[in-house]
Structure 1
């Protein structure tokens, strides 16, 4: 027989168990499911009756407002402003895009084979004094003077050649870029780099600043403007050129500098906004001599030769200063041999013994 059953088929539960069962049936078990209310049954029917309707809509929440699309309004406003700028100042817009298209010129490492291409004819301004010329893409100041890699030459080691090349460039900076020298001051820093025992050059320096002449003119080596007459525009001078070197006489290091300087200038009386670019191309040959063979001083060089081409720097008797022609004076300067001052493919033509010719720039 199975446990918990009576032989006659009756229940085996005791009277206490039946009494407890009846009490729980009347009170309800704690975990027994409860019948939902009428409102809950109605709510459950609605989603099934309307399957395409958002189940959340019946709750009565207001629909979210669509976001306004303001992007197109902003684009339209900017386009209108751009058209207005073009209409009011078309020249400035052209200049802006022209400047964006130009890129800096690569450093000059060898003599070019041809002149730079012609630029669009645009008048220079006080804010853009190099506009309309190849110099606009040139480097500024000493950055435009390329210095080659140093190797041992003659009596100098590679390290000594490197120092000599750096000091050669320092001379060019002190002679042609120093702000004080450009305003007419004496170029003491540059002169200090010249061998004080070189008699002919020392004689030139002794008289050039006191009584300038064709043979003893400061402009043969230095760039100077007279402040009472000329004012440089801005603080930037554009340059392009390079240093080269080889072994010279008696084992000396011979350095050749070929550099073009572009100086934008205006009249000192501030009577107008006319800008004239004085363009000077210099070729200097410097000798760093062996002190055991030549009388010299440490850190100085001897000048082997010097020559230059100059346009828009004035004609007539030497004054010791460049004198850019302004206004009616420009017509008087527009005589003489024509020269492209930006053409660095041709050799420098003007030397220390050149006569009174005045070269005229084919472009400025």
Structure 2
């Protein structure tokens, strides 16, 4: 018969069964007698006067109590969220990818004269026959005052309008750009994302809807054309709206009239009026506004009198009048079935010409 001090299943495996190993934790009789045993009454237990065997909690006022570990986790989440918001708001503007590549689309339309091109009656007053509504230079641009849009302030809109006005003056009225081949005064307005397209348009202009220098500026071949007057008459308007919440858009539609004569012609030589309509679409984000630059995204140019069939990508091609008048071949009929010719290359007839 087994020892009654052993458990029914026998001595645990690996155990010695010897009580000596527990001798160090056995309390002597005097310790047990000195121990004070307290039995709480029912009232004390209901009153909760005994210590609670729970983790300490932190008081949060009306939110009650929250365990310390939960509070630490909540604080870490709030700290991470605050850090993300801070860096999202305070990160420098412009770090997002900027538009690159061929952003500008150009449409060039030559306006052929319906009859012979004659010089103006009075070379000293070449614009005398123009109808009312044209102004001299920047006055004819009719730049509106800045008014706030849904996402852009009055100051931001006014700055965009000022940039567009200065661009139009530089690209449509500056003699160095018009007849001297200069481009630097226009290039300073171009955003970095469009510089490659601009430079390619100047270096190797081609009418492919993206690389025509005359989409960016009005220019005549210095070897053929000179200004008979530095004054440019202008009529038109500007429209301000938003392409989206972060993009301000300005559309301009102006007609420019130039007094031209052959390059090297003496004083008193016949003067011809050349009419150029420029319908342009500009876009700005806040980086563009800060740098006083613009993105030209669409350019429609009509110019005449001009011969059909002659490329206007590098320079506009005005028909200059002689004393007896200059006759130009009428535009050829367009065959819609001719797919060898780009559909955007069209020619019109100049009204009143």
TM tier relative to shorter chain: 0.5 to 0.7
Which TM-score applies when normalising by structure 1? 0.55
RMSD: 2.8
Which of 319, 327, 342 pairs up with 1:331? 327
Deviation at 1:336, TM superposition (A): 5.8
Task: List gaps (5 residues or longer) in structure 1.
Answer: 1-120, 338-352
Query: Distance between the aligned counterparts of 1:252 and 1:319, measured in 2?
Result: 29
Partner of 1:345: none
Deviation at 1:203, TM superposition (A): 3.7
Which of 164, 167, 174 pairs up with 1:168? 164
Kindly provide the CA deviation profile for residues 228-280 of structure 1, in whole angstroms up to 9, marking residues without a partner as x. Answer: 21111111110001111012223321111111100111112427732221111
Query: Distance between the aligned counterparts of 1:195 and 1:285, measured in 2?
Result: 14
Partner of 1:194: 190
Output aligned runs, 1:71-110, within 5 Å.
Answer: none
Greater strand share, 1 or 2?
2
8 Å Cα contact 2:283-2:295 kept in structure 1? yes
Output aligned runs, 1:208-227, within 5 Å.
Answer: 208-215=201-208, 216-227=211-222
Deviation at 1:132, TM superposition (A): 2.3
State the structure with more CA Rg. 1
Partner of 1:129: 126
* 2:192 alignment partner, SS class: coil
Partner of 2:141: 145
Kindly provide the CA deviation profile for residues 307-364 of structure 1, in whole angstroms up to 9, marking residues without a partner as x. Answer: 1211124441346122222358942354369xxxxxxxxxxxxxxx863333331225
Aligned positions, number: 222
Deviation at 1:170, TM superposition (A): 0.6
Query: Distance between the aligned counterparts of 2:185 and 2:151, measured in 1?
Result: 26
Q: Looking at both structures, which has the greater relative contact order when contacts are Cα pairs under 8 Å and sequence separation is at least 6? A: 2
* 2:190 alignment partner, SS class: coil
Deviation at 1:305, TM superposition (A): 1.4
Return 268-277 or 172-181, whichever deviates more: 268-277
Partner of 1:246: 241
* 1:359 alignment partner, SS class: strand
* 2:347 alignment partner, SS class: coil
Change (3 A) 1:260 1:189: same
8 Å Cα contact 1:196-1:296 kept in structure 2? no
Query: Distance between the aligned counterparts of 2:320 and 2:119, measured in 1?
Result: 18
* 2:203 alignment partner, SS class: coil
* 1:240 alignment partner, SS class: strand
Partner of 2:298: 305
Which TM-score applies when normalising by structure 2? 0.56
Query: Distance between the aligned counterparts of 1:239 and 1:333, measured in 2?
Result: 29
Change (3 A) 1:184 1:209: farther
* 2:168 alignment partner, SS class: helix
